[in-house]
Amino acid sequence: MENPNRIPRRVAVLGAGIVGLATAWRLHRDGHEVTVIDRAQPGSGASAANGAQLSYAYVQPLADPSIWAQLPTLLLAKDSPLSLRIKLDPAQWAWGLQFLAACRASVSRETTAQLLALAAESRIAFDALRADLLAAGLSDGQFSATGKLVMYSTAESFAAARQQLALQQALGTEQHALSPADCLAVEPALADSLSQYAGGIHTPGECAADAGQVCRSLHQWLAGRGVRFVLDTAIDGLVVRQGQVAAVQTAKGFIDTDAVVLALGTGSVALARTLGVRLPIYPLKGYSITLPGQSTGAPTVNVTDAKRKLVFARLGDRLRVAGMAELVGENRDIPPGRIDRLIQQTREVFPQAHIGTEVQPWAGLRPATPTARPIVGTLPQAPANLLFNVGHGALGFTLAAGSATRLSALLHGRGASDVSPVAAAPAACSA
């Protein structure tokens, strides 16, 4: 790929979620002939109704030493935001052990540094993507830049958050530790629940947008500029000749290509396995509700409740509430109890918000690596012209534009991704 004469002309992007579509946008802008292939419609998977927050500065991974003290409560409490349903699934056990092995301070610091660097690139790239959509008269997903408050319920959790803040400030982010009274000044809608919190971390530069709407707009923008879409079509396999992917086999026939980008979210695991590649990715199931008709009482700043592991994002006159993480495999069911819990917790934090009868429930599968570092680029055991853009977990929307830019640069020989696959970690998990 370092030889300009060998830069792939035709690139097949497998996946029409926000990561795949951002990749198609970047590759089209860089002069490639792009085909996007997906078994469903654009933005109908994990991008459809996710948490909507663009967390460019707040990227602390779930795999952190603090997990050890929380683990009994998280796994055993009936109202735990983290749920593990033990299955006879070797992939679940392997992922879980790798996750626990990553719960070390050194791994968390390195992951934070890598994700912050990628997020900074993504902010710039997403601004360019939004500019393209707006210039074409398309929606940018009701984008807003009102900042973010992460609220902590105990003095201990707030102290730990200030330690993470110091690390992220040293890496160049603008964040501030606020007293409850200062948090109220930033977001007055917290007035009725302020007594629940010991303090908050304010990141004024954070943003929000509806990822599903951005996907639909990107589909229109790309299709209008000649990008080919093969949708509602199963991907049956990849045809490899002489160590290179030569074609994508679909239910509608073979699609010849010079390179392939695998961006199928959790679906990437099975397809990669057909080539003998094992991706350290497992679904983290999350839920959301979208509440229309918001005027007063709902936050205008993005709010995260750290204890409940719940996020609130304002999208015009709608409020998106999302949270929970379940390790239950490829399960997209929406138990009514989960939705009832989201409604109850919304009332606990923002009792004046309008709930109404038009609650729009959703569940999606976040493709997570144990460390939270995505896999962007090539892998040594895979064909050289097969590139991976997977494993973004809960930060898929945040990191999509930046990882797409890095991947395109790699195709053009301008540099490789330094966001590496999950590294082998020792079994001991001390801080």
What's residue 68's pLDDT?
Answer: 80
The model's confidence at residue 416, banded by pLDDT at 50, 70 and 90, is very low
Lowest mean pLDDT among 15-29, 65-79, 223-237, 312-326: 65-79
Q: How confident is the model at residue 75 (pLDDT cuts 50, 70, 90)?
A: low
Tokens for 92?
Answer: 């679940």
Give the span between the Cα atoms of 27 and 410, in whole angstroms. 11
Write out the H or E segment, with its range, that includes residue 264: none
Rounded to the nearest angstrom, the gap between the alpha carbon of residue 3 and the centroid of all alpha carbons in its chain is 33
Q: pLDDT at residue 431 above 50?
A: no
Query: What is the pLDDT of the chain when averaged over all its residues?
Result: 91
Report d(CA 133, CA 128) in Å as an integer: 9
Residue 224 has pLDDT above 80, yes or no: yes
CB of 98 within 8 A of CB of 422?
A: yes
User: CB–CB of 301/148 below 8 Å?
Assistant: yes
173: DSSP letter: -
| pLDDT of res. 328 | 87
User: How far is it, in rounded angstroms, from Cα 315 to Cα 139?
Assistant: 12
Within 13 Å and on the Cβ side, how many CA atoms surround 55?
Answer: 26
Quick check: helix, strand or coil at residue 82? strand
Q: Indicate the pLDDT class of residue 418, thresholds 50, 70 and 90.
A: very low
Q: What is the pLDDT of residue 415?
A: 54
pLDDT in tens, 76-130: 666 677 777 777 788 989 998 999 999 999 999 999 999 999 999 999 999 999 9
Contacting residues for 22 by C-beta, under 8 A, at least 6 apart: 125, 129, 218, 400, 401, 403, 404
**pLDDT for res 25:** 98
Contact yes or no for 216/142 (Cβ under 8 A):
no
Report pLDDT for 255. Answer: 98
Give the pLDDT mean for 23-34: 97
Q: How far is CA 99 from CA 108, 299, 430, in A?
A: 11, 33, 13
| Nearest residue to 124 via CA among 399, 409, 419, 427 | 399
Q: Which helix (H) or strand (E) holds 180?
A: helix 180-186
pLDDT given at position 82: 73
Specify the DSSP class assigned to residue 392: B
- Residues 59-70 as b or e (16 or more Cβ within 10 Å = b): bbbbbbbbbeee
Residue 164: partners with Cβ closer than 8 Å, 6 or more residues away: 60, 112
Query: What are the structure tokens assigned to 38, written together?
Result: 């997906």
What is d(CA 185, CA 178) in angstroms, rounded to the nearest whole number?
10
Average pLDDT over residues 260-274: 97
Check if the beta carbon of residue 148 is closer than 8 Å to that of residue 302: yes
pLDDT reported for residue 179: 98
**What's the full length of the chain, in residues?**
431
Using the predicted structure, report yes or no on whether residue 180 has a pLDDT greater than 80.
yes
Task: Look at residue 422 and tell me whether its pLDDT is greater than 80.
Answer: no
Amino acid at 277: V
CA dihedral for 351, 353, 358, 363, sign (positive or negative) = negative
Evaluate if residue 377 carries a pLDDT over 80: yes
Per DSSP, which regions of 122-172 are E strands?
148-152
Is this model's pTM higher than 0.85 or not?
yes
Residue 321's CB: how many other CB atoms inside 10 A? Answer: 25
